[in-house]
């Protein structure tokens, strides 16, 4: 402790000033004087002065997500050169999930094209790390990707990350991660209200409140007790998204079959009170929990990564983006509740059916993409590249076919349902 204090007496540095310290080690700082380390480079000299004045940075600062991505890619190349292709592929997956993915939202606000290029290149590198066929092509793509990561690092440095960028990134994170959870939860609430089972709303509330608590506990455990890898996070999110998509599709189809007003009133009188017993209600609570929990943990990680890219004085800007996002979600929820309740029962169930099937379409696409990012299933790119994140649409055959399957199944159900209703309509007339 004493040498660390004495070594910094000759230097002063602004504690609020964030400088690049990742290229300097403790050994170098001990064995060389500042002039030798700087070697004429002013930026390196600033880093030396900063670390001599505040050596605690060497012990407390964690590597940035982009630095993790760079280090893991270089480690992947080293393993590849040794012929360990499975390990090199694992490191390439970690480079994306544990590194680059955490800054995607911030980079999207500054340079979305660069974000897409880096993501595409990092996905392509995985396949090349698994094969020994073309080492020259791999090295070329890897060098390009490392250069792109360096460009992203400069664009996301504390000096260039403006308040407007931080505000936009904070707002986008909450809207992107929170909208799906909000829509699923509100759909469940509205179904129970229109089913005349307001007493069962406590199960939905228990589900989403427990998810918020569990997300916070998981985040604390990930920071303090265990290291939850990006791959584990993506697998969890992917499985949860697929499970929620299937349940939502089933509920949507069921609601469409009851969209006729007479049918629904008869169903309410005969079945709802008996069917919505404790077991079913806890199933509803579980669905609310899954829909919210899968978003909460990732949201926390994204905000933590955003905070590492900002100065302490910019924290209110990030909080402001979060609060505005929360306000927007509240407005969306208020509009849904206010106008959905006023809809005629038949129209309400028709609208809610399309909402739930639409959410199922989005979630099944995102679930497959999450499993692809975790290298749990293969990713076969389409001939053309496109991405519409809000609806879970991405240019891979697997995710696209999963979403097409949802649409085809729903269309088939609609045709069969309409055919069955025609004889009923003619007999009633």
The backbone torsions φ and ψ at residue 388, rounded to the nearest 5 degrees and listed phi first, read -130, 90
Look at residue 102 in the predicted model and tell me its pLDDT.
82
CA dist 282 to 81, 276, 363, Å?
Answer: 53, 10, 22
Helix (H) or strand (E) holding 387, with range, is strand 387-388
CA dist 106 to 124, 155, 213, Å?
Answer: 22, 10, 26
Confidence of residue 279 (pLDDT cuts 50, 70, 90): low
Identify the sign of the CA torsion 204, 206, 208, 209.
Answer: positive
Radius of gyration of the CA atoms of the chain, in A: 26
Query: For the chain, how are helix, strand and coil distributed in percent, rounded to 5?
Result: 80, 0, 20
| Total count of residues recorded for the chain | 429
Q: Which residues pair with 388 in a beta bridge?
A: 393
Which range among 164-168, 200-204, 227-231, 327-331 has the greatest average pLDDT? 327-331
CB 103 within 8 A of CB 152: yes
Tell me what the mean pLDDT of segment 247-256 comes to.
Answer: 74
Q: Domain spans of the chain?
A: 2-60, 65-155, 163-428
The CATH T-level fold of domain 65-155 is: 1.20.120
Q: Does this model's pTM top 0.75?
A: no
Tell me what the mean pLDDT of segment 36-49 comes to.
Answer: 66
Judged against a pLDDT cut of 90, whether residue 405 lies above it is answered with yes
Tell me what the mean pLDDT of segment 149-177 comes to.
Answer: 80
Look at residue 240 in the predicted model and tell me its pLDDT.
76
Q: What angle do CA 336, 414, 182 make, to 5 degrees?
A: 25
Could you tell me which of 403, 411, 311 has the C-alpha nearest to residue 366? 403
Q: Taking every pair of C-alpha atoms in the chain, what is the biggest distance, in angstroms?
A: 96
CB 125 within 8 A of CB 85: no
The backbone torsions φ and ψ at residue 18, rounded to the nearest 5 degrees and listed phi first, read -95, 125
Judged against a pLDDT cut of 70, whether residue 294 lies above it is answered with yes
Helix (H) or strand (E) holding 388, with range, is strand 387-388
242-266 burial string, b = 16+ CB within 10 Å, else e?
bbbbebbbebbbebbbbbbeebbee
Three-state helix/strand/coil letters over 273-319: HHHCCHHHHHHHHHHHHHHHHHHHHHHHHHHHHHHHCCCHHHHHHHH
Helices 315-342 and 278-308, axial angle in degrees (round to 10): 150
Interval 351-378: pLDDT, tens: 778 888 888 898 898 889 888 888 788 8
The backbone torsions φ and ψ at residue 387, rounded to the nearest 5 degrees and listed phi first, read -160, 125
Confidence of residue 57 (pLDDT cuts 50, 70, 90): low
- The span from the CA of 429 to the CA of 422, in Å, is 11
């Amino acid at each position: 402790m004493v040498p660390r204090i004495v070594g910094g007496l000759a230097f002063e540095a602004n504690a609020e000033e964030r400088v690049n310290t990742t290229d300097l080690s403790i050994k170098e700082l001990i064995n060389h004087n500042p002039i030798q380390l700087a070697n004429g480079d002013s930026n390196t000299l600033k880093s030396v002065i900063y670390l001599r004045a505040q050596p605690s940075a060497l012990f407390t600062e964690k590597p940035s997500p982009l630095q993790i991505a760079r280090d893991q890619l270089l480690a992947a190349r080293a393993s590849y050169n040794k012929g360990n292709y499975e390990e090199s592929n694992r490191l390439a997956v970690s480079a994306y999930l544990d590194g680059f993915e955490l800054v995607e939202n911030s980079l999207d606000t500054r340079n979305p094209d660069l974000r897409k290029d880096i993501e595409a290149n990092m996905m392509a590198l995985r396949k090349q790390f698994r094969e020994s066929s073309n080492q020259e092509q791999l090295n070329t793509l890897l060098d390009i990707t490392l250069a792109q990561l360096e460009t992203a690092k400069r664009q996301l440095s504390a000096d260039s990350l403006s308040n407007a960028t931080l505000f936009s990134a904070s707002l986008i994170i909450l809207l992107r991660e929170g909208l799906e959870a909000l829509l699923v939860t509100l759909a469940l609430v509205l179904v129970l209200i229109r089913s005349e089972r307001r007493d069962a709303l406590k199960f939905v509330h228990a589900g989403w409140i427990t998810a918020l608590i569990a997300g916070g506990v998981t985040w604390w455990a990930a920071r303090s007790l265990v290291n939850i890898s990006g791959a584990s996070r993506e697998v969890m999110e992917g499985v949860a998204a697929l499970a929620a998509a299937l349940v939502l599709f089933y509920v949507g189809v069921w609601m469409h079959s009851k969209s006729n007003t007479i049918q629904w009133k008869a169903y309410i009188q005969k079945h709802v009170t008996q069917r919505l017993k404790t077991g079913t209600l806890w199933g509803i609570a579980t669905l609310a929990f899954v829909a919210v929990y899968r978003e909460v943990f990732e949201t926390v990680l994204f905000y933590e990564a955003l905070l590492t890219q900002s100065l302490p004085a910019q924290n209110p800007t990030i909080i402001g983006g979060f609060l505005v996002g929360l306000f927007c979600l509240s407005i969306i929820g208020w509009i849904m509740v206010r106008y959905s309740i006023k809809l005629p029962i038949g129209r309400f169930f028709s609208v809610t059916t399309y909402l739930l099937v639409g959410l199922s379409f989005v979630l099944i696409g995102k679930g497959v993409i999450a499993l692809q990012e975790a290298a749990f299933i293969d990713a076969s790119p389409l001939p053309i590249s496109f991405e519409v994140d809000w609806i879970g649409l991405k240019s891979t055959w697997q995710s696209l076919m999963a979403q097409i399957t949802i649409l085809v199944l729903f269309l088939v159900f609609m045709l069969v349902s309409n055919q069955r209703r025609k004889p009923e309509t003619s007999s009633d007339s």
